[in-house]
Chains A and B, each alone.
Chain A
Amino acid sequence: MELATIMMYVFCVCAVAGGVGLVVAKHPIHGALSLLMSMLCLAGVYALLGAHLIAVLQIIIYAGAIIILVVYVIMLLDVVGSDSAGFYRKAGLAVIPLLALLVFPLVQSVAGVGDKGNREAAEGGVGCEEGKLCETLCDDDKDNDGDGLRDCADPNCGSQPACYGTVKAVGSSLLGRYVLPFEISSILLLAGIVGAVLLTAPKPEELERPVGAPAVDATDDPGEEA
């Protein structure tokens, strides 16, 4: 069995283990760390599947932004949970070699050696030069062989040609064929920002005076406090 396949199984098992840890966690911070492990392992799976951009985005957005936000809220709220720190300290030690494992698929992605199409292109094989492939075969809606798929899946280029999953290929389809969902998602993000700010912002009457100031202070307009 190939090393990449073995690692994919290891990552899948660890992702499931992280999910179990989330569901059984007593304290939310343990659940957050379990979810972090699950997400990092899924990022490894994505990288091994050739989805390089999504793997990196998974780490940045999920493991970076979302988990940090959850951990901030947990620390902010100071929720009390039962003490199960001993088990999770041991489990945390087990995560360290797992993170070391995660380095492999990411380095493989960056080096491009794990990508079948790239490897064949590097060996001067079936004409999968990256520039040519991405400009000719990855044109939107071009389907010369009539199989209903775009010609990225051209059999000349192996199952995963060089134009699959790279920043250039995903970005061109994101801003080409899927530009309308892309714009709609930006509106959704804006709505999320406004909603989060509105929900957490202090009420207007709390904004009238600085924090810690007495309730009645000497303002020029006495009717303002009334």
Chain B
Amino acid sequence: MPLEHLLAVAFVLFIMGGAGVLARRNILIVMMSIELMLNAVNLVFIAFASTLADNGGHVMVMMIFVVAAVEIAVGMAIVVNMYRQRQNIGVDSFRIMRG
């Protein structure tokens, strides 16, 4: 499979993740869309690592795994807190983060 096709797939995934972040009002869907964007970046790293036969891309993908895991853990903690206080997880209710 040529590199260009993989990059095209990654581009489409990233654009869809961005569309989800911008268009959806549910905070859970927004966070999952961010995960989708991170996955698109991972695909770019793996595609170039495969083309160049270099393991550095794999290490970078592992770093992105760590960042994604931390982000989803802290984000879900914030979502749970927000739901406890306001019984609402729409993005519009996140204008004020102060408890």
- B91 beta carbon closer than 8 Å to chain A: no
Query: DSSP class of B's interface residues: helix, strand, loop or mixed?
Result: helix
B69 and A189 within 8 A (CB) = yes
Q: Given that A66-B68, A77-B80, A159-B53 are contacting pairs, would A31 and B29 also be in contact in the complex, using a CB cutoff of 8 Å?
A: yes
Q: Given that A45-B43, A188-B66, A199-B81 are contacting pairs, would A62 and B35 also be in contact in the complex, using a CB cutoff of 8 Å?
A: yes
A23, A49, A165 — most chain B CB neighbours (10 Å) = A23
CB distance from A51 to the nearest CB of B (A): 5
**Bound state CA distance, A50 and B77, in angstroms?**
36
**Bound state CA distance, A15 and B36, in angstroms?**
10
- A104 beta carbon closer than 8 Å to chain B: no
A31: contacting residue among B32, B39, B63, CB under 8 A: B32
Chain B, range 54-72, C-beta contacts under 8 Å to A: 54-56, 58-59, 61-63, 65-72
By a CB distance below 8 angstroms, the chain B residues around A62 are 35, 39, 65, 68
By a CB distance below 8 angstroms, the chain A residues around B76 are 69-70, 73, 196
- Chain B: interface residue total (CB-CB under 8 A): 55
By a CB distance below 8 angstroms, the chain B residues around A79 are 26, 28, 89
By a CB distance below 8 angstroms, the chain B residues around A106 are none
- A101 beta carbon closer than 8 Å to chain B: no
CB distance from B90 to the nearest CB of A (A): 10
Q: Given that A28-B29, A51-B46 are contacting pairs, would A189 and B70 also be in contact in the complex, using a CB cutoff of 8 Å?
A: yes
B26 and A28 within 8 A (CB) = yes
Interface string of A154-178 (1 = CB under 8 A from B): 0000011100110001100110011
Name 10 extra pairs, CB < 8 A, besides A38-B13, A79-B26: A8-B1, A23-B19, A23-B24, A32-B32, A45-B46, A49-B46, A153-B52, A173-B59, A192-B70, A193-B73
List 17 A–B pairs whose Cβ atoms lie within 8 Å, in order of A's numbering: A16-B13, A22-B20, A23-B16, A23-B20, A28-B29, A35-B35, A38-B13, A45-B6, A70-B28, A70-B31, A152-B55, A164-B53, A164-B55, A177-B56, A185-B63, A192-B69, A199-B80
